[in-house]
Amino acid sequence: MQITGDYLKSVAVGSAQSRSGDAVQATGAIRFILLSQLIIPFILLILGVLLGLYQVLARAGIIRSADIFGIKYYQGLTLHGVINAIVFTTFFAVAFGNAIMLHQLKRPLKVGVQWASWLLMVGGTLMAAWAMLTGRATVLYTFYLPMVAHWTFYVGATLLLIGSILPYFLDWIPNTLAWRRENPNAKLPLAVLGNLVNFTMWFLIILPLAVTVLFQMLPMSLGLASEVNPLLSRTLFWFFGHALVYFWLLPSYIMLYTMLPKLAGGKLYSDPAARLAFLLFLLFSIPVGLHHQYTEGGLSSGWKLWHAFLTFMVALPSFITAFTVAASLEHGARQNGGQGLFGWWSKLPYWSREGDKWLFAYFISGLILFLFGGITGIVNASYSLNLVVHNTAWIVGHFHTTVGGLVTLSFLGMTLYLVARLRGVDVKAKPFALAAPYLWMLGFVIFEIALSITGLQGAPRRSNIGISYLDPSNELLYRPDWLFWSHVGALGGALAVVGFLSYVVSLVGTLFAKPVRAPEIDFPIAEALHDTPIPLVVNLRPWVTATLALIAISYTYPLYESMTRGVITKVPGYQSIESNLVPQQTLREQTKLP
């Protein structure tokens, strides 16, 4: 079927199963929009990744200059976090969502909607990028108050988020309803269910963020308000901020459930288990935000404990995923001739260059990193253990094996895959494409171990410790015991960057290769081994109702407490970076022994 920029009538096809694997051709405006939704964030990601290298070298005390190419430490940290964790992920989730809906439902996307979404996202990103690059927004990617940025940062972020939700309301929901009318007895394709769950959650969490941005951050930045309640801002931010991590994760889970089993040579072990995992994410992803605020005064411990309990519940769908994915891998490996208790591990296509099998390397490397990310996440979630690791380098290790691990690797792999399909070319420089995820994984395993150790030793996060605790000339603060592992962490970070550069070689080669076939969208969708229909996981509606109820139960009182017990702070409004910076020399002098 050809999907052009114009509206096309859908084709009647038998069932959801028979659709999977059918390619749709992509041309015109939709092809341009999809390709640019993948390429624009990738270009920004190059800057984001290089600034990550700067962070790790600066923190280890290997670079001690006040800035690099004019970019100062917190400015670089903000760019690194916002580009990698917000811009790259959001653009990818929309592009991938569009491609999945097109491919699975075989219904066209509306060109007007897609252009509106594109313009808002690109325009918003440019505004926020201007604020960050000119030093007017050094508020980090967790931009809650009382830190203040220039108003363009907030407006830019708002436009990006509005643009990202438009396709959900104006394309995907109408297309799903139309598909449902045509196929009243068919099961919604699994990838479509995962995508709809993800963007339903996305919509629900954008709302609390919008409240703090529109009613607290913007008025403060513009100097229209002179007082603010930072506790309320943080509670609203984390209402958004934890589910945000599952907004990053679910596109990866869609790939793990629907594509990885086929690449491994087998079938998805259980379709109902996969559906249950997605629906449990909807239920438990949002009412857990207080686990970021365990140490925050003003919120009572009973509610923090409730959120801690729900945080353990949100780990459940990942445990289900670990089991289902492992079983699917085993099934695939045994189809390839694998035998014995562990002997089948050798029959997986770790290094295969055949067809699309190179993509397997991205998923398996991501899964191995996610084992570390999952374990450290469980530690973070524990109310008492969190006191040991909160605000330390440990947390940085955790999120570089989750969002920086499975999420980034699967997004990079799928970007390369889709760019090749949408351009009608074969993936170029496959050995580089294959080496990239393994180098990245090895780098971040080393990085994770090193940062976990320095975190347990007490090394803080969000701090340029290279010019304080790791500066031997600083008699008061110097911590030689942090030095070794900080350098090991820098080595890990550098190795991951080498992996990324290897990926860049393949992506750029693919981007400029001569087309050999018509552009298309196709995915290696696996069939399910166990596919018994279970009514509990077929209908979204009861899950959405239960989700809303659980959010209301979990957030009504904490929000009331934040409003009534939060300390109201006087604020001067936005001030330029120069007036806020403590010169490096002054910092050194302030911390010298008399």
Identify which of residues 249 and 393 has a Cβ nearer to ligand HAS in the complex: 249
Residue 555: active-site member? no
Residue the block writes with tokens 């990310």: 373
Residue 390: active-site member? no
* Chain centroid to CA 325: 20
In angstroms, give the least distance from the CB of 128 to ligand HAS.
18
Identify which of residues 117 and 311 has a Cβ nearer to ligand HAS in the complex: 311
Residue 150: active-site member? no
Q: Is position 400 an interface residue for ligand HAS (rule: CB under 6 A)?
A: no
Backbone torsion region of residue 570, taken as left when φ is above 0, otherwise alpha when ψ lies between -120 and 50, otherwise beta = beta
Q: Tally Cβ neighbours within 10 Å of residue 4.
A: 15
Q: How far apart are CA 514 and CA 510, in angstroms?
A: 9
Q: How far apart are CA 397 and CA 395, in angstroms?
A: 5
Helix (H) or strand (E) holding 21: none
Q: How far apart are CA 363 and CA 350, in angstroms?
A: 10
470 three-class SS = coil
Nearest residue to ligand HAS, scored by beta-carbon proximity = 374
Q: How far apart are CA 437 and CA 444, in angstroms?
A: 10
Question: Looking at residue 525, what DSSP letter applies?
Answer: P
Among the candidate windows 20-28, 30-38, 243-251, 467-475, which touches ligand HAS by CB under 6 A? 243-251
Contact 247, 201 (CB under 8 A): yes
Among the candidate windows 3-11, 34-42, 331-339, 402-410, which touches ligand HAS by CB under 6 A? 402-410
Kindly identify the residues of this chain, within the stretch 368-387, that bind ligand HAS according to CB under 6 A. Answer: 368, 370-371, 374, 377-378, 380-381, 386
> Would you call 576 exposed, middle or buried from its count of C-beta atoms within 10 A (0-12, 13-18, 19+)?
exposed
Contact 537, 290 (CB under 8 A): no
Q: How far apart are CA 288 and CA 306, in angstroms?
A: 8
Among the candidate windows 216-224, 297-305, 362-370, 561-569, which touches ligand HAS by CB under 6 A? 362-370
457 token code pair: 């030793």
Identify which of residues 378 and 538 has a Cβ nearer to ligand HAS in the complex: 378
What ranges in 259-300 are assigned the alpha helix state H? 260-263, 271-284
Kindly identify the residues of this chain, within the stretch 341-360, that bind ligand HAS according to CB under 6 A. Answer: 345
Residue 370: active-site member? no
Q: Annotated catalytic residue: which of 153, 199, 246, 438?
A: 246
Q: How far apart are CA 168 and CA 157, in angstroms?
A: 18
Q: Is position 311 an interface residue for ligand HAS (rule: CB under 6 A)?
A: yes
Identify which of residues 177 and 305 has a Cβ nearer to ligand HAS in the complex: 305
Q: Is position 334 an interface residue for ligand HAS (rule: CB under 6 A)?
A: no
Residue the block writes with tokens 């989700």: 547
Q: Is position 456 an interface residue for ligand HAS (rule: CB under 6 A)?
A: no
What ranges in 1-87 are assigned the alpha helix state H? 16-19, 28-59, 73-81
Residue 107: active-site member? no
> Would you call 166 exposed, middle or buried from its count of C-beta atoms within 10 A (0-12, 13-18, 19+)?
buried
107 three-class SS = coil
Kindly identify the residues of this chain, within the stretch 144-203, that bind ligand HAS according to CB under 6 A. Answer: none
Identify which of residues 402 and 502 has a Cβ nearer to ligand HAS in the complex: 402
Q: Is position 245 an interface residue for ligand HAS (rule: CB under 6 A)?
A: yes
Q: Is position 445 an interface residue for ligand HAS (rule: CB under 6 A)?
A: no
Q: Is position 314 an interface residue for ligand HAS (rule: CB under 6 A)?
A: yes
Residue 461: active-site member? yes
Identify which of residues 179 and 294 has a Cβ nearer to ligand HAS in the complex: 294
Positions of E strands within 94-215: none
Identify which of residues 350 and 478 has a Cβ nearer to ligand HAS in the complex: 350
Phi/psi of residue 510, nearest 5 degrees? -70, -35
Which of 94, 155, 205, 403 is in the footprint of ligand HAS by CB under 6 A? Answer: 403
Question: Looking at residue 108, what DSSP letter applies?
Answer: P
Helix (H) or strand (E) holding 172: none
Identify which of residues 217 and 381 has a Cβ nearer to ligand HAS in the complex: 381
Taking CA atoms, 398 is separated from 49, 196, 321, 487, 563, in Å, by 17, 27, 19, 18, 31
In angstroms, give the least distance from the CB of 45 to ligand HAS.
16
In angstroms, give the least distance from the CB of 455 to ligand HAS.
10
430 token code pair: 């496959």
Per-residue contact flags (x/-) with ligand HAS for residues 94 to 133, judged by CB under 6 A? ----------------------------------------
Q: Is position 233 an interface residue for ligand HAS (rule: CB under 6 A)?
A: no
Residue 103: active-site member? no
Among the candidate windows 12-20, 198-206, 316-324, 437-445, which touches ligand HAS by CB under 6 A? 316-324
What are the residues whose beta carbons fall under 8 Å from the beta carbon of 151, sequence distance 6 or more?
218, 221, 222, 574
Q: Is position 309 an interface residue for ligand HAS (rule: CB under 6 A)?
A: no
What ranges in 168-229 are assigned the alpha helix state H? 173-182, 190-212, 218-221
Which of 64, 187, 334, 390 is in the footprint of ligand HAS by CB under 6 A? Answer: 390
Contact 285, 316 (CB under 8 A): no
Q: How far apart are CA 268 and CA 401, in angstroms?
A: 25
Q: Annotated catalytic residue: which of 400, 444, 469, 500?
A: 400
Q: Is position 325 an interface residue for ligand HAS (rule: CB under 6 A)?
A: yes
Query: Angle between the 111-133 and 73-81 helix axes, to the nearest 10 degrees?
Result: 170
Q: Annotated catalytic residue: which of 398, 417, 421, 469?
A: 398
Identify which of residues 75 and 114 has a Cβ nearer to ligand HAS in the complex: 75
Q: Is position 407 an interface residue for ligand HAS (rule: CB under 6 A)?
A: yes
**# chain residues binding ligand HAS, by CB under 6 A:** 33
Backbone torsion region of residue 565, taken as left when φ is above 0, otherwise alpha when ψ lies between -120 and 50, otherwise beta = alpha
Identify which of residues 142 and 335 has a Cβ nearer to ligand HAS in the complex: 142
Among the candidate windows 226-234, 307-315, 510-518, 569-577, which touches ligand HAS by CB under 6 A? 307-315
Among the candidate windows 27-35, 193-201, 216-224, 319-327, which touches ligand HAS by CB under 6 A? 319-327
In angstroms, give the least distance from the CB of 471 to ligand HAS.
25
Identify which of residues 47 and 371 has a Cβ nearer to ligand HAS in the complex: 371
240 token code pair: 């958004």
The catalytic residues are 242, 246, 398-400, 461-462
Q: List contacts with ligand HAS (CB under 6 A).
A: 142, 245, 248-249, 291-292, 311, 314-315, 318-319, 321-322, 325-326, 345, 367-368, 370-371, 374, 377-378, 380-381, 386, 390, 395, 398-399, 402-403, 407
